């Protein structure tokens, strides 16, 4: 007795084998996926029938339907034939933007300040011209009124102050009376640090004095200022660098060499006379 073995794989080239595979695939698929595919195909036929060729016309309902199918059905792109899948994704993004635009149409923001509080802030700033926003804000907190300091500054009545010249105008008018002094560091080949003191005249951009030292002190800086300015050539204004690490030495030197009849002034215009 002979036993015939059955081959392990099917010959897919045979039409019967292909039909069997399609039948199995049809049985495995869920009923919901089948209904979605039928809906998609029927909808595309309806769009093609109601549109004038060669261009298809889609309504808002059509775009919403395919945007919904693209999110709920994984095989939607295989059943799509009238447009590209990228077009459906663009419809979905556009609908997402429209939804959030509609949802955020009512913007509440920060609650408004009542009219009586605004009037109180203006009245306090008018009756007390020397009070700033922090002082008025503190007084309002004592009264139990909860507002921010920026809100107080916003509703304060602007004070009319006499016009004053700007820093640029001051430099233009007094350029021939202003000199600047500052230190900068120069590293050497032997890894030493040399401190260079430079005094510059603003009027002609002329170097008045340049000197170098390893240990800048107030006494040394004062002596260099004496060497740079004679008894009758000391400038009324000496600009010092606020960011200089030797600002204390420069100011100490200015205090030491200044003259009561012709005081040197700092960059902020405050006299350093003793």
Q: For the segment 29-65, what is each residue's pLDDT rounded down to a tens digit?
A: 667 777 778 888 888 888 878 877 777 778 888 888 8
Q: How confident is the model at residue 164 (pLDDT cuts 50, 70, 90)?
A: confident
Residue 206 contacts by C-beta under 8 Å, 6 or more apart in sequence? Answer: 200
In a domain, residue 219? The reply is yes
Q: For the segment 97-135, what is each residue's pLDDT rounded down to a tens digit?
A: 888 888 877 666 677 888 999 999 999 998 988 888 999
Long-range pairs of 55-62 with CB within 8 A, sequence gap ≥ 24: 56/82, 56/83, 58/83
Q: How far is CA 84 from CA 54, 64, 73, 80, 91, in A?
A: 16, 15, 16, 7, 11
- Domain assignment of residue 138, given as a range: 115-155
In a domain, residue 267? The reply is no
Selection from 24-33, 98-107, 186-195 with the highest mean pLDDT: 186-195
Predicted pLDDT at 252:
60
Tokens of 136: 């008025």
Residues 47 and 55 sit within 8 Å (Cβ to Cβ): no
Distance CA 136, CA 115 (A): 17
CATH number at residue 213: 3.30.420.10
Give the full edge-to-edge strand order of the sheet including 237-240.
206-213, 193-201, 178-187, 237-240
One domain for residues 173 and 247: yes
Q: How far is CA 43 from CA 40, 49, 77, 215, in A?
A: 5, 10, 14, 90
Q: pLDDT at residue 159 above 80?
A: no
pTM across the whole model: 0.35
One domain for residues 148 and 180: no
One domain for residues 136 and 174: no
Q: When comparing pLDDT for 263 and 211, which is higher?
A: 211
In a domain, residue 193? The reply is yes
Total number of domains constituting the chain: 3
In a domain, residue 9? The reply is no
One domain for residues 74 and 138: no
In a domain, residue 160? The reply is no
Distance CA 207, CA 249 (A): 20
Tokens of 270: 């405050």
Residues 236 and 261 sit within 8 Å (Cβ to Cβ): no
In a domain, residue 133? The reply is yes
* Helix or strand run (H / E) with residue 207: strand 206-213
One domain for residues 55 and 119: no
In a domain, residue 230? The reply is yes
One domain for residues 171 and 253: yes
């Amino acid at each position: 007795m002979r036993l015939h073995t059955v081959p392990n794989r099917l010959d897919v080239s045979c039409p019967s084998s292909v039909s069997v595979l399609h039948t199995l695939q049809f049985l495995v698929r869920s009923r919901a996926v089948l209904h979605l595919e039928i809906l998609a195909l029927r909808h595309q036929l309806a769009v093609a029938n109601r549109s004038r060729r060669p261009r298809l016309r889609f309504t808002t309902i059509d775009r919403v339907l395919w945007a919904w199918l693209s999110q709920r059905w994984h095989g939607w792109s295989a059943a799509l034939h009238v447009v590209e899948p990228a077009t459906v994704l663009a419809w979905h993004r556009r609908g997402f933007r429209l939804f959030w635009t509609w949802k955020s149409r009512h913007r509440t923001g920060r609650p408004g300040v009542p009219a009586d509080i605004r009037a109180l802030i203006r009245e306090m700033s008018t009756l007390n011209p020397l009070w700033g926003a922090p002082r008025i804000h503190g007084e309002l907190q004592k009264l139990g009124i909860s507002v921010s300091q920026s809100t107080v500054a916003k509703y304060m009545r602007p004070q009319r102050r006499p016009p004053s010249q700007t820093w640029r105008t001051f430099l233009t008018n007094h350029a021939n009376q202003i000199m600047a002094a500052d230190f900068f560091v120069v590293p050497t080949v032997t890894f030493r640090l040399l401190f260079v003191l430079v005094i510059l005249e603003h009027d002609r951009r002329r170097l008045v004095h340049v000197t170098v030292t390893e240990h800048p002190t107030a006494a040394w800086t004062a002596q260099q200022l004496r060497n740079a300015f004679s008894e009758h050539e000391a400038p009324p204004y000496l600009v010092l660098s606020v960011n200089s690490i030797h600002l204390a030495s420069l100011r100490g030197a200015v205090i030491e060499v200044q003259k009561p009849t012709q005081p040197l002034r700092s960059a902020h215009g405050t006299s350093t006379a003793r």
